[in-house]
Structure 1
Amino acid sequence: MAVLIACGIGWRWLCPGGLSSEQVRPVLTSVVYYLFLPAMVLEVLWRSDIGVQSLQYTFLGTSSIAFAMICIWLIGRALNIQHKKLGAIILVTAFPNVTYLGLPVLEETFGHWARSVAIQIDLFATAPFLFTAGIMTARHFGENHSHKHKPIWLNLNAPPFWAALLAVILNLNQITAPEWLLGVLQKLSAGVVPIMLFSLGLALSWQSITLRNLPYALPIILIKLFLMPWFALQVSVFSTLDEAHKAASVLEMAMPSMVLGIVFCDRYRLDSALYAMAVTLTTVLSMVTLPFWYRIITTT
């Protein structure tokens, strides 16, 4: 995994063929978002065990995100942080990178079955929370010159959500996937992890790390990489998940900051540079904190 991320970092520095990371990354992530990821969602959820445990993933994910949002908001209010910075700080602290990094990490750590955990936490908890409470937060702390606000629920009108809905319907109705279709979906799914990791490397911006923004990094790192997974671990005690699924779901909450939030920072004119810096720092530090939390989770 580290090699694929390093390839993305190398591309950002070298710009082969004169193509910058800003040109390459949107194309790759769009292909993943509109084709490869929906195929993986359909393939995995169609054959997954969907039921009470899915609700438990939703509760663990949303409660952990809400906890992080409240913690960083209280700190921001106490320190009287300027609105545009505080909005970016809340988004970058609360929402973990459960798909672009979480999915490959879980699959590598626990096995192929953990894909289902990552996808369910993303589509049943993180993404709905991001496209509702996350956008409301960005609107509140930022600015938008457009007088027409798209209804929040329209943000859920996206290929991965439609694939998830179709997969759940097929799953609950016990419709067996044809072998030929399963083969096609598996081939498309195979492209998700390497492209995600490569794109993550493209997104890491060392130029975004500035002395002016570094003081804001400490509370972000403390909550994102330590308090949030600790809270998720406490919540998981009350779940009926088996130990392996419990460990996988808690480790998802230990992931670094989500890259996608930079889009909302740009749209609502929050502090995008601060957000990019936090993504870079938390992603690099997660190389140390993720093994730490895995050890804690599996020995608790």
Structure 2
Amino acid sequence: MYERLLPMILILACGLAWRQVLPGGIPMQQVRQVLNTLVINLLVPALIFGVFLNAHPEPALYRVPLVALATISVCLGAGLLVFGAMLRAGRLTRAEAGAAVLAVGFGNGLGAALAVVEGLFGGTATRVPLMYEMFATVPVHWSLGVALAAWFGGAAVGWRSALVVLRMPPFWATLVALAVNASGVAVPDSVVHAFGVLGQASVPLLLFVVGSTFTFKGLSRLSVLVPVVLLRPVLGVAVCLLAARALDLDGTLLTATAVVAAAPSVAVGIAICERFGLDSALFTAALTVTTVLYVLLAPVLVTMVGG
């Protein structure tokens, strides 16, 4: 099963190596900004159209966001309890606590999880991380997540920040693709194929960007990183399985949803931390650790849940 993830590992390594070498002398931050703009505004919407227009989604797929919301809510709540207690005890600063809460609350469904699900289950299963991300992670992250980041950073945040999701093309692409699919409108196979080919470029570029954020600094901060690891993938999977079984998810849909729930911290959290004065170095260390563990343990999780 690990051989299916080898391309993902190599692309992550390429991102890390590129940041060290910087071919062409272009700053890594500028490279990430350009790639993120391309991926979010063009490639991911194309991927969504290619996936959801290819076949009718099974009805149970629409229960995935409910499982996701339950998982995110419990992980965020647990993060606030644990790191809030450490903050009150003087073991963390507000900047550190805020970064840790964000690292625990939100997984990278459009990065690592998308690649792992595609590698382990095939292209049709990518509907799971897309539904999980677009109708749960993205809306909650850009509303409650941003509000929490602002609170820990001591900054004011306006209600308009919650509307940023409405300016994200992947969100609307998902709604349109599902609506077209449900309406029975026939989309030419050549158009669907073109979307699929274009969308295939999104996964390696997302992984490249994630790999370029990896850092070995701050990995000694075990007092924070250990709780992050226990809460992000471990608690996330436990809550996901309980919620998924309560909603009658089973088979590949259940296993793929659990794999997404275990996803590492979302990469855009680095920018959120920098925007609100949180400890971005700590968040990046958490992202590095959770991503490496995710790649190593995802096949084990598939065997445990699927078996």
Contact 2:53 2:192 in 1 (8 A): no
Alignment of 1:184 with 2:194, yes or no, is yes
1:105 alignment counterpart: 116
| Ranges in structure 2 where 5+ consecutive residues have no aligned partner | 1-7
2:247 alignment counterpart: 239
Aligned residues: 296
Contact 1:131 1:156 in 2 (8 A): no
1:35 alignment counterpart: 42
Q: CA deviation at 1:223?
A: 0.8
1:206 alignment counterpart: 216
Q: CA deviation at 1:150?
A: 2.3
Q: CA deviation at 1:289?
A: 2.5
**Identity in percent:** 29
Any idea what SS the aligned residue of 1:237 has? helix
Structure 1, 223-232 or 58-67: larger mean CA deviation: 223-232
| Counterpart pick for 2:80 among 73, 84, 87 | 73
Contact 1:25 1:199 in 2 (8 A): yes
1:46 alignment counterpart: 53
Any idea what SS the aligned residue of 1:150 has? helix
Alignment of 1:18 with 2:25, yes or no, is yes
> Counterparts in 2 of 1:211-230, with a 5 A limit?
211=220, 213-230=221-238
2:4 alignment counterpart: none
Give deviations 1:104-159, integer Å, cap 9, x for gaps. Answer: 110110111111111111111111111122112112212337x8652512433211
Q: TM-score, normalised by structure 1?
A: 0.92
Q: CA deviation at 1:52?
A: 4.3
| Counterpart pick for 1:8 among 9, 15, 22 | 15
Any idea what SS the aligned residue of 1:255 has? coil
| Counterpart pick for 2:69 among 58, 62, 82 | 62
Inter-partner Cα distance in structure 2 for 1:263 and 1:280:
15
Inter-partner Cα distance in structure 1 for 2:69 and 2:305:
19
Question: Match for 1:233: what amino acid?
Answer: L
Structure 1, 28-37 or 239-248: larger mean CA deviation: 239-248
Structure 1, 63-72 or 180-189: larger mean CA deviation: 180-189
| Counterpart pick for 1:125 among 122, 126, 136 | 136
Question: Match for 1:237: what amino acid?
Answer: R
Q: CA deviation at 1:210?
A: 5.3
Question: Match for 1:293: what amino acid?
Answer: L
| RMSD (Å) for aligned C-alpha atoms | 1.9
Larger helix percent: 2
Any idea what SS the aligned residue of 1:101 has? helix
| Counterpart pick for 1:93 among 99, 104, 113 | 104
Structure 1, 21-30 or 99-108: larger mean CA deviation: 21-30
Q: CA deviation at 1:183?
A: 2.8
Inter-partner Cα distance in structure 1 for 2:44 and 2:33:
15
Question: Match for 1:222: what amino acid?
Answer: L
Q: TM-score, normalised by structure 2?
A: 0.90
Any idea what SS the aligned residue of 1:113 has? helix
Contact 1:25 1:203 in 2 (8 A): no
Q: CA deviation at 1:18?
A: 1.6
| Counterpart pick for 2:207 among 197, 205, 221 | 197
Give deviations 1:183-214, integer Å, cap 9, x for gaps. Answer: 3212211211111111111111223x254x43
Distance change >3 Å, CA 45–CA 7, structure 1 → 2: same
Alignment of 1:144 with 2:177, yes or no, is no
Structure 1, 155-164 or 32-41: larger mean CA deviation: 155-164
| Ranges in structure 1 where 5+ consecutive residues have no aligned partner | none
Structure 1, 197-206 or 29-38: larger mean CA deviation: 197-206
Inter-partner Cα distance in structure 1 for 2:189 and 2:106:
36
Q: CA deviation at 1:164?
A: 1.4
